[in-house]
Structure 1
Amino acid sequence: MADPSYYVILNANAGTASATGVTAEVVAALFEANGLRAVVDARSDRALVDRIADAMASPAPMVVAAGGDGTITALAEALVGKDKSLAILPLGTVNALAKDLNVPLDMASAVATLATGEVHRIDVGEVNGRMFLHKVVIGMIPGVAAGREYIRGRQDTSAKIGFLRYLFRRLARSKRIAVVIEPRSGQRRIERVQALAVSSNAYDEGLGQFFSRQNLDRGTLTLYVLRHFGVRDFLRL
């Protein structure tokens, strides 16, 4: 039997995967229907680092992250500088990188695209020895994201009300932090902010654009500063 061309790491607990009940059998059937040889690893009882090691040791030249941005980033970190490529099946809640890369958000379409897809290089960033593909955020916003993760998978009204109470409490108690900004060109300055984001390349700007990028290979980091963010700002957004 020929070696597989794809090694798929499925995170069944990712947002969309959990909500729609995606299984290894479903993923394997989609690859088979498109004439693609794949091994699907859905071992949720194994540590992700061990599953990634198995993927790297496999003969498959393409490793597929079937999950959210966290799964994608973990796989990408292992693949940097290696002779394997990364593909994405967007099964997370936000799927930010998949949207930037114009990967279809429908799983069947995403698998079908693999049959005709082309390999491209994109930039990666590094902070404190860890890699990132999209952006790194400090300040108030990560705490809000942590609250969202706490209720992941819960659809009951009490969970949603609890999250809103948590959100508004965070907004009411949030304080600004001081950050030192040293651009490559320009003067060093100190800003007092409620949140700061460092993005790999710049987001597109214009009507209807919201945290999306068409270019991921310009080799730049872009700084976004949020000086104030209150309840009124949240409701307006």
Structure 2
Amino acid sequence: MTLPRSDGPLFIVINAGSGARHASEIQPKIAALLGAADRAHRFLPAHGGGVVAAARQAVALAREQQGVVVAAGGDGTINAVAQAVIGAGLPFAVLPQGTFNYFGRTHGIPQETEAAVRALLSAELRPVQAGLVNDRLFLVNASLGLYPTLLEDREAYKRQLGRSRPVALLAGLVTLLRERRQLDLCIELEGETVCLRTPTLFVGNNRLQLDQIGIAEAPALEAGRLVAIMLRPIRGLSMLGLLLRGALGRLGEAETVTSFCLRQLTVRTPRQRRIKVAADGEVFHLRSPLQFRVAPQPLLLMVPRPDQRVEPA
């Protein structure tokens, strides 16, 4: 495929609520580095739901001026901006500002703002795979059941205690001990349909995340597939045992865990017309059936040159 130019002006969607530092602190640092490099740029600040509107504006400007759309924020912000960019065939760049930053880390993008900006200035375009659940994009993962509930609880704890990994882990422990609900799903894969009960269905599109928790199918992402994970109905202390396995990189070894590769997966919820879904940390409702699939076109990502790449950790 012919790649577009990547040396045009930068249109930066910056989320004022991502990460530990406020946008008012981050934006001047980015501007100073870009100014020193004589790189044309424009900031489009966004708050909460305003990210979608800012992303659309950035795409329109980048089309007009042969520019690059940049997302400065966490995985949720990156998802919202990528959703607007992928259909436009424009270059896309990331300046990570969130808590976990799985997408940026997977592609070797530095986590420190100054280093990320410097890497962006000489970055190279690379097509990367995206996933879809119905018409919603996901770059890291999409899920239903327990995981969306965990994310909602995590956000509630972060509002009270601050945005940090320890707070996120605390929220996860509380959710695992408390949650009792199970999902009744009918899953169609490669022409076969199976109906089952599970606390969660998780579909991953991020090699780093899947490797860290110990899912053997993680390399299948490099072959144009997604990876699904399901649990047998378990509760309480058994859930904590799975959490520990995941922390040790051994989740895939558990007898109560099933994982498999897919290009397309259809999920029906016989008891629910609409179901809560999480994609890259954002929770919303979609109408059943759900169709998980690899997006037909890649995201054109600006990735650091080898000498500026940070190894995923």
Provide TM-score, normalisation by structure 1: 0.80
CA distance in 1, matches of 2:113, 2:37: 12
1:3-152 correspondence to structure 2 within 5 Å: 5-18=9-22, 22-44=25-47, 47-58=50-61, 59-152=65-158
RMSD over equivalenced CA pairs, Å: 3.3
Report the equivalent of 2:230: 225
Report the equivalent of 2:204: 199
CA distance in 2, matches of 1:211, 1:154: 32
Structure 2 counterpart of 1:225, which letter?
M
Q: Secondary structure at the match of 2:116?
A: helix
Answer whether contact 1:201 1:216 (CA < 8 A) is retained: yes
Structure 2 counterpart of 1:50, which letter?
A
In structure 2, relative to structure 1, the CA distance for the partners of 1:25 and 1:45 (3 Å cut) is farther
* 1:89-133 residue CA offsets vs partner (Å, 9 max, x unmatched): 000111111111111111111111112211111122221321111
Answer whether contact 2:130 2:137 (CA < 8 A) is retained: yes
Structure 2 counterpart of 1:37, which letter?
A
Answer whether contact 1:135 1:199 (CA < 8 A) is retained: yes
In structure 2, relative to structure 1, the CA distance for the partners of 1:145 and 1:46 (3 Å cut) is closer
Unaligned stretches of 5+ residues in structure 1: none
CA distance in 1, matches of 2:56, 2:45: 14
* 1:132-167 residue CA offsets vs partner (Å, 9 max, x unmatched): 1121111112111111112325437xxx99x95895
Provide TM-score, normalisation by structure 2: 0.62
Which is worse superposed, 91-100 or 123-132?
Answer: 123-132
Aligned-pair identity (%)? 28
Structure 2 counterpart of 1:13, which letter?
G
Larger relative strand fraction: 2
CA distance in 2, matches of 1:66, 1:94: 14
Unaligned stretches of 5+ residues in structure 2: 1-6, 248-313
